[in-house]
Amino acid sequence: MRTKSMRRAVAAPAALVAVVAAGGCTVQPADGTGASRGPVRIDVPATPDDGDGDGKGASGPKPPRTPTPTRTPTRTPTPTPTRTPIPAPPPAPSAPPRVLWSHGDEGRDVRELQSRLRQIAWLFEGPTGEYDAPTAEAVRGFQGKRGLPRTGVTDSVTWARLRGMTREPTKWELYAFGGQPAAAPDARCMTGRVMCISKTSRTLRWMVDGRTVMTVAVRFGSELTPTREGVFEVSFKSRHHVSTLYDTPMPYAMFFSGGQAVHYSSDFAARGYYGASHGCVNVRDEERIAELFAQVRAGDKVVVYW
């Protein structure tokens, strides 16, 4: 016969098994010896979720999900950096103009420079072929008038400006005051003591036995009063002669053909070939004709030729 206490003892384990089965807990029943067994785990499968977050299983097909619109991120434009312009390098200084002629130079090119300066009234002497103080002063004045540096030295820029304002000088503008080379002596001048006078080169050679002792520039008569050509002799000499026909001085006169003589001319010294004689042979270098006058004797030959 069971008692009330026995019934309680049997009911208690049965209730425990039911709770374990329902909750998936681990029970550790005692074995027949009263020792404890290892834990037994009973896994109770959970009801699958339908994904709607209510913990209930799916009861049918899932409704289509509305896609969440994708936002395109707005890109803030990156500001373009301002570039500071690099300044251009300063232009390289130009080379100074090339110097062509300066004080102390000599030659034909200097004659042309002087002749061109005479054409525009910057020079009133020469051409002499020597770059002297008057030439430098004339160049300086020309440069200053045209806004060029007043150096008195003829450089490439000054020369270009001067050439643009003038014309090519003639031979006798280049040698307006002498200095031209002498022509070859005439064959009739090769013997004895001879004043060998060339109308082509406008020069007089004083020659002794074919050797030239000195050469001077000379000037002749104009077309109206030409100097006669041919072979003559010195008839007489007159150191301080004065022309009775023209009433002009004829110092160091050596007469050879009537009233025509070789003599010094101050007009030739001053005006060069821009003037002419009345038929005589003029010499402009007073020192040289004084030397010539001392050497020439009456009876010496005179040859005038082209």
- Which CB contacts under 8 angstroms, 24+ apart, belong to 87-92? none
The size of the chain, in residues, is 306
Integer Cα distance of 143 and 148 in angstroms? 5
Of 142, 84, 130, the residue nearest 106 (C-alpha): 130
- Cβ-contact 208, 175 below 8 angstroms: no
25 carries an active-site annotation: no
Catalytic choice (189, 196, 241, 280): 280
For CA atoms 141, 142, 146, 152, give the dihedral sign.
negative
Integer Cα distance of 105 and 151 in angstroms? 15
Of 73, 78, 129, the residue nearest 104 (C-alpha): 129
263 carries an active-site annotation: yes
Catalytic choice (25, 241, 263, 278): 263
The residues annotated as belonging to the active site are: 263, 280
